[in-house]
C-alpha cells in the first residue's frame, strides 16, 4: 500500500553543471498547468494502483528547483492529498530549495502550506566550488536562507553538500564542514561529485579541462567528513547521510533504501510497487516522460483535466517488471547502504531463504577481510568497509 509520494518539479532558472536529473531552465514556471497535470496523473494512478488511498506518510517535492514555485502551489497540492488520502499522524513533507530563492514571505507561506522539512542545496561555501558546480547562489545566500528558515519556525532542515569537486582540497572541505557545524542543521546529505553522462562538468572532464580528485584524496575526504560531522553531533545512518538523531533521518529516503512501494508524480518521476505474482513479475516500476511540456500536453491536453483511460499512458509513462533475482539484488544493494545494514528476517520473508543464503556465502570472504559482518538477523558493512561500499556491493552481486 503506497504511503510515500514523490513529486518532481523539473523547472530551474539555470542548469547546474553536474546535474543529471530531468530538468529544464525556464523564465516562468507554468504552475497552473503543471498542477492540473499532477492531479490528472494522480487520478490515473489511483485507478491503476490498488491501495493508493492509504494515508500519506512522506511527501517529497524534488527537482529541478521546487523553491521556484509559490507557496499557494504547495498549499493546493497538500490540500488535495489531504482530501484524497489524508496524512499519517506525523507525516514528513519535504521541499528542496535553492538558497538564492529564499525570502521571508515565501518561507512563511511554505510553512503555512504544511511543509515541515527543508532540504537546502548549499553544496559548498567556497566561491570557486560554487562556480565550478554552476550554482547560482553564493555563500551569503546560504546563511541568509538558513537564518530565514529558522526564524520562520522550521525545526527540521537538511543541508546538502557536494565534495571532491575539481580543485577542492582537504582544507576546503574542512571549511565547508565547519560552516555547516556553525549552522547546526538537523540533517546533512553529503555526496561525492559524480560525473554523469551528458553533464557540462563531464564534458569538461572528457575534454581534459579539469582533473578529478584522486581516489586517495577522496578517501581522506570521506574520513574527514564523518569525523567532523560526528563532532558536530551528526551521526552517519547511510553512506552519504547524517542526522542529529533518529527522529531527523529522512523518512522518505529510508522508504527508497528499504525498497518500499512509492508513487512518483510529474515529468521524469518514477514509481514502483511489489507484485510478487511469480518469479518473473516480482516488482513493477514506471517512469514518466521527462519533458514537462509533453507531459502536460499528454495529461491535460486542450483542457481535459483527466485522462479518459490508460490507453494512451504509454505515450507519457513506460512500465517495466523486475524478476525476483533482480529485486533481491536491489534490496541487498540499497539496504547495505544503511549503517544498520539489511534486515535478514525481512529479506527471507520477502524473497525466500535461498537467495539470502547464497548472498551470505559470497560474503564470507569479505567477512574474513573484516569488511562486512552478519548474524541471524542482520547483515551490515563494518566501519572498516564503509569507505569501500561500492566495491563491496559489486563483489556481492
Of 166, 215, 159, nearest to 188 by C-alpha is 159
Q: Pairing mode, if any, of strands 87-97 and 117-123?
A: parallel
| Cβ atoms of 288 and 322 closer than 8 Å | no
Q: Which three cell numbers stand for residue 97?
A: 530549495
One pLDDT digit (tens) per residue for the chain, 397 residues? 569 999 999 999 888 999 888 899 999 999 999 999 999 999 999 888 767 888 999 999 999 999 999 999 999 999 999 999 999 999 999 999 999 999 988 999 999 999 999 999 999 999 999 999 999 999 999 999 999 999 999 999 999 999 999 999 999 999 999 999 999 999 999 999 999 999 999 999 999 999 999 999 999 999 999 999 999 999 999 999 999 999 999 999 999 999 899 999 999 999 998 887 777 888 999 999 999 999 999 999 744 444 444 446 778 999 999 999 999 999 999 999 999 999 999 999 999 999 999 999 999 999 999 999 999 999 999 998 988 898 999 888 8
3-class secondary structure, 104: helix
Strand order in 342-343's β-sheet? 342-343, 378-381, 372-374
Exposure string over 131-147, b if 16+ CB within 10 A, otherwise e = ebbbbebebebbbbbbe
Burial class (CB in 10 A: 0-12, 13-18, 19+), 365: exposed
- What is the model's pLDDT at position 53? 82
3-class secondary structure, 275: strand
- What is the model's pLDDT at position 26? 93
Residue range 260-281, pLDDT digits in tens: 999 999 999 999 988 877 778 8
The C-alpha R_g of the chain, in whole angstroms, comes to: 21
Dihedrals phi, psi of 61, to nearest 5 degrees: -100, 110
Q: What share of the chain is helix, strand, coil (3-state, %, to 5)?
A: 45, 25, 30
Residue range 147-165, pLDDT digits in tens: 999 999 999 999 999 999 9
Measured at the CA of 262, the angle between CA 260 and CA 268, to 5 degrees, comes to: 130
Model confidence, pTM: 0.94
| Cβ atoms of 108 and 72 closer than 8 Å | no
* Domains, the chain, with CATH or none: 4-257 (3.20.20.70), 341-396 (1.10.10.920)
- What are the distances in angstroms from CA 313 to CA 252, 291, 292, 298, 318? 26, 15, 15, 8, 8
Q: Can you state the angle between helices 389-396 and 353-368, rounded to 10 degrees? A: 130
| Cβ atoms of 351 and 330 closer than 8 Å | no
- What is the model's pLDDT at position 390? 87
- What is the model's pLDDT at position 208? 95
Residue range 285-303, pLDDT digits in tens: 999 999 999 999 999 974 4
Helical segments of 187-303, H only: 200-206, 215-231, 251-257, 292-300
Amino acid at each position: 500500500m503506497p504511503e510515500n509520494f514523490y513529486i518532481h518539479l523539473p523547472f530551474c532558472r539555470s542548469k547546474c553543471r553536474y546535474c543529471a536529473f530531468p530538468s529544464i531552465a525556464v523564465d516562468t514556471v507554468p504552475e497552473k498547468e503543471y498542477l492540473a497535470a499532477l492531479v490528472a496523473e494522480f487520478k490515473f494512478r489511483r485507478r491503476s494502483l490498488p491501495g493508493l488511498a492509504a494515508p500519506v506518510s512522506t511527501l517529497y517535492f524534488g527537482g529541478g528547483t521546487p523553491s521556484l514555485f509559490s507557496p499557494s502551489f504547495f498549499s493546493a497540492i497538500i490540500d488535495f492529498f489531504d482530501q484524497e488520502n489524508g496524512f499519517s499522524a506525523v507525516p514528513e513533507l519535504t521541499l528542496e530549495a535553492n538558497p538564492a530563492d529564499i525570502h521571508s514571505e515565501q518561507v512563511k507561506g511554505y510553512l503555512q502550506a504544511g511543509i515541515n522539512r527543508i532540504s537546502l542545496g548549499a553544496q559548498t561555501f567556497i566561491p570557486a566550488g560554487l562556480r565550478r558546480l554552476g550554482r547560482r547562489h553564493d555563500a551569503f545566500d546560504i546563511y541568509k536562507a538558513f537564518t530565514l528558515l529558522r526564524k520562520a519556525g522550521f525545526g527540521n532542515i537538511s543541508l546538502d553538500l557536494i565534495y571532491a569537486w575539481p580543485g577542492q582540497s582537504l582544507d576546503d572541505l574542512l571549511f565547508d564542514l565547519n560552516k555547516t557545524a556553525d549552522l547546526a542543521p538537523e540533517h546533512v546529505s553529503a555526496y561525492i561529485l559524480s560525473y554523469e553522462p551528458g553533464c557540462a562538468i563531464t564534458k569538461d572532464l572528457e575534454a581534459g579541462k579539469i582533473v578529478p580528485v584522486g581516489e586517495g584524496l577522496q578517501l581522506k575526504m570521506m574520513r574527514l567528513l564523518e569525523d567532523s560531522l560526528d563532532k558536530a553531533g551528526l551521526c552517519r545512518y547511510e553512506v552519504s547521510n547524517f542526522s542529529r538523531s533518529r527522529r531527523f533521518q529522512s523518512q522518505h529516503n529510508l522508504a527508497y533504501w528499504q525498497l518500499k512501494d512509492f508513487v512518483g508524480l510529474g515529468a521524469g518521476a518514477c514509481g514502483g510497487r511489489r507484485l510478487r505474482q511469480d518469479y518473473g513479475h516480482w516488482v513493477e516500476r514506471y517512469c514518466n516522460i521527462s519533458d514537462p511540456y509533453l507531459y502536460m500536453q499528454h495529461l491535460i491536453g486542450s483542457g481535459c483535466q483527466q485522462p479518459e483511460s490508460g490507453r494512451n499512458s504509454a505515450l507519457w509513462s513506460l512500465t517495466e517488471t523486475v524478476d525476483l533475482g533482480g529485486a533481491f539484488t536491489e534490496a541487498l544493494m540499497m539496504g547495505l547502504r544503511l549503517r544498520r545494514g539489511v534486515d535478514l528476517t525481512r529479506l527471507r520473508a520477502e524473497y525466500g531463504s535461498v537467495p539470502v543464503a547464497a548472498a551470505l556465502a559470497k560474503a564470507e570472504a569479505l567477512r574474513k577481510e573484516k569488511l562486512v559482518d552478519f548474524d541471524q538477523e542482520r547483515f551490515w558493512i563494518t566501519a572498516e568497509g564503509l569507505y569501500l561500499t561500492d566495491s563491496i556491493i559489486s563483489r556481492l552481486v
